[in-house]
Structure 1
Amino acid sequence: MSKLEESAAMLSFAAKFAKKMSSFYPLEVSNIDKLTPNSVAVSLQIPAEHREAFRFDAGQYITIRHKNGDSEIRRAYSISSAPRKEELTIGIKKVKGGTFSVYANEQLQTGDVLEVMPPEGRFVLKPDSKYKNVLAFAAGSGITPIMSILRTALQDRQDLNFVLVFGNQNREETMFYKDLQDLKEKYNDRFHLYHLFSRNQESDSLFGRIENSTVNYVLRNKHKSVDFDAAYLCGPLPMIDAVRDSLKANGMTEDRIFHELFTEPEAEASSETPLEGTTRLEVTLDDEIHQLEMDQKSLVLDVVLNAKIDAPYSCQGGVCSTCIARVTEGSAHMEKNQILTDSELQEGFILTCQAHPTSAVLKIDYDDV
């Protein structure tokens, strides 16, 4: 093997190993900012020895593991800061009845240490992007990954124009309101910001929710001469569906529209034959093979975790992509899928937290993703 081939092989192995790792790292809370009465921005210090593991593209998320009594919970939070080596920031909105979100807003303190999985996610602005005009629609806490994309785009690209439409109930509950106003003032020739408030009618803002008429207002009125290269949508599913349909009706192709859910969609009724029987499940993880038996009514990830196999996962609701694996033999049906594309489904990828086996044998590979 030549030196060049040897180097390429080492890089390939390193990349594969990095993808497989689902380890958690202790990160110290360096700062907590109160964004609204019900949300905080939490900054985490990244030690020098972990900085390579925590490199990220704008728009990605981290997973936090937290002990709640005798049980363990995992929560995914998008990074709101632009990529930096020393620190990253996430936005956490308090959810009524929530566990970690309430803890983060009411008890978490500077100096506390959180267990954090390295960044993941494909709702990103690539560093080598050639975009000239970017459009974004966010609702509520869906602004969090958009903030990272926005900050990165404006800082790194002097020739890029960014239009953001941001919906909330009122100004008081608007996450990152001051940050957005500061960015608007700093980049007033390249950043166009439209606030929508559904409960209060305020000056310098639109009234209502993000819907078809909002998209038409932006595309046909305010920016009718602009050809947008990409649109980023983040928020609840009804908003995403409405905006995506409107963008397509205005001529934007599907491959230029990117979205990420910030609420878990309702389970769709399955048109498949009711699942019954058992499946022999083979799981490949970190180059180890595990053999299991499972009921087809069970979810693959539940069975894997119950067998004490440390598979990667986070939301367990089909909203993130942490638990993705490739089917190498057999078949599976997912209850929900708002993340994987048609081409990824054709390649055999599944969200294991949503997947039921539909064959006598199912082989999945967490490493080959």
Structure 2
Amino acid sequence: MVQFYPLTVSDITPLTPNAVDISFEIPESLKEAFAFEAGQYITLKHPAGDTEIRRAYSLSSKPGENKITIGVKKVPGGTFSVYANQELKKGDVLEVMPPQGRFVFTADRAPRKIVAFAAGSGITPIMSIVQTALESNTENKVILVYGNKSREEAMYFDSLQKLKEKYNDRFFVYYLFSRNQEEESMFGRIDKSKVNYITQNVHKSMIPDTFYLCGPLPMIETVTAALKENGVSENNIQRELFTTPDSEASKDAETSGKTHLEITLDDAVHTLEIDRKNLVLDALIKAKIDAPFSCQGGVCSTCIARVTEGKASMVKNQILTESELAEGFILTCQAHAESAVLKIDYDDI
């Protein structure tokens, strides 16, 4: 069963004119449930009229603290992001799902050299990764390339500057602003030339073991292509796509007919008949089956399951690797049944 816990907002701090930093108290009884790795996210549940919305937000705080913190950027027309920036206050209680996610940095005894590319609110999980990397080993080195429209819109700018001052010999930050030319920054967006300049010129002597990419799809695709051209293995690139459900294309599919769907969830088996034109997750929600989900946009992996019989196709996939697809994994928020019988297992992942 999907488990949410009531957590109290302990602090709200403005980050930019359109973003806030939200911290939650973690009671002693929930510290184990809310333990996390740097880079993971939480899911918030919030009432919206006669229904509810769920939103996934990456943790910007580092593991081991007595709180968890997220950064929320206001999205024009957004439901929860507008509420969080304009109405949410200290002392309010929100329903929160424990941390999840595979976009993680795990501290190691051996020295690590990492490079992170972030754009906009994609800095949120990178903040956790950067802090953890720098503090977990005195020999770790981190390069961060961070793109925004302007200095004013750069979330966590002050915190990054403090980290830069504290770890000046092994933390290197490069800011890019697409609308303003500012001191100690580059003008423009994160593109192939910037990737090559920083990794192949300025830091050509440093051989990173992992690259972390977080932000909108065009940036991720651009950086990935540039890194691969420079010989970086796919296995050394971790990606986290940031987008909003409102920006997604239509999820309707050119399918017809019915499918007998069998779902294994928390050791229980549920069955129902669904229209193939409907997404699997949508059918489960309508049937009031408490399957795990968060963003419903195919970017957070909360709804991942394994196909054990039958066939399903996804509207899109930006998360699952070729090997995971070969093992039968699907994102149920993006999947349509294509066979008379479809069996999926949420437990076998």
TM-score, normalization by structure 1: 0.91
Given the alignment of the two structures, is residue 283 of structure 1 paired with residue 263 of structure 2, yes or no?
A: yes
Q: Which residue of 1 aligns with 2:226?
A: 246
Structure 2: distance between partners of 1:326 and 1:140 = 33
Structure 1: distance between partners of 2:98 and 2:110 = 26
Structure 1 pair 269–131 and aligned structure 2 pair: CA distance change class (3 A): farther
Structure 2: distance between partners of 1:345 and 1:103 = 37
Matches within 5 A, 1:64-213: 64-128=44-108, 130=110, 132-213=112-193
Matches within 5 A, 1:348-367: 348-367=328-347
| Structure 1 segments of 4+ aligned residues over 6 angstroms from their partners | none
Q: Which residue of 1 aligns with 2:283?
A: 303
Structure 1: distance between partners of 2:282 and 2:134 = 42
Over aligned residues, Cα RMSD in angstroms? Answer: 1.6
Instruction: Determine what percentage of the aligned residue pairs are the same residue.
Output: 63
Structure 2: distance between partners of 1:60 and 1:22 = 17
Does the residue aligned with 1:309 lie in a helix, a strand or coil?
Answer: coil
Structure 1 pair 94–72 and aligned structure 2 pair: CA distance change class (3 A): same
Structure 1: distance between partners of 2:216 and 2:65 = 31
Given the alignment of the two structures, is residue 221 of structure 1 paired with residue 221 of structure 2, yes or no?
A: no
Number of matched pairs: 347
Deviations for 1:147-175, whole angstroms, at most 9, x for unmatched residues?
00001000111111000000001101100
Task: Give ranges in structure 2 of 5+ residues lacking alignment.
Answer: none
Q: Which residue of 2 aligns with 1:3?
A: none
Structure 1 pair 110–229 and aligned structure 2 pair: CA distance change class (3 A): same
Does the residue aligned with 1:73 lie in a helix, a strand or coil?
Answer: strand
Q: Which residue of 2 aligns with 1:11?
A: none
Structure 1 pair 268–72 and aligned structure 2 pair: CA distance change class (3 A): closer
Judge which range, 128-137 or 221-230, deviates more. 128-137
Instruction: Give the conservation status (yes or no) of the 8 Å contact 1:51–1:85.
Output: no
> 1:53 pairs with 30, 33, 39, which one?
33
Structure 2: distance between partners of 1:85 and 1:70 = 36
Letter in 2 for 1:75: R
Structure 2: distance between partners of 1:144 and 1:219 = 22
Deviations for 1:13-46, whole angstroms, at most 9, x for unmatched residues?
xxxxxxxx52000111111110000000000010
Structure 1 pair 358–131 and aligned structure 2 pair: CA distance change class (3 A): farther
1:220, distance to aligned residue in structure 2 (A): 2.0
Does the residue aligned with 1:308 lie in a helix, a strand or coil?
Answer: coil
Judge which range, 118-127 or 57-66, deviates more. 118-127
1:251, distance to aligned residue in structure 2 (A): 1.4
Structure 2: distance between partners of 1:54 and 1:275 = 40
Instruction: Give the conservation status (yes or no) of the 8 Å contact 2:265–2:291.
Output: yes
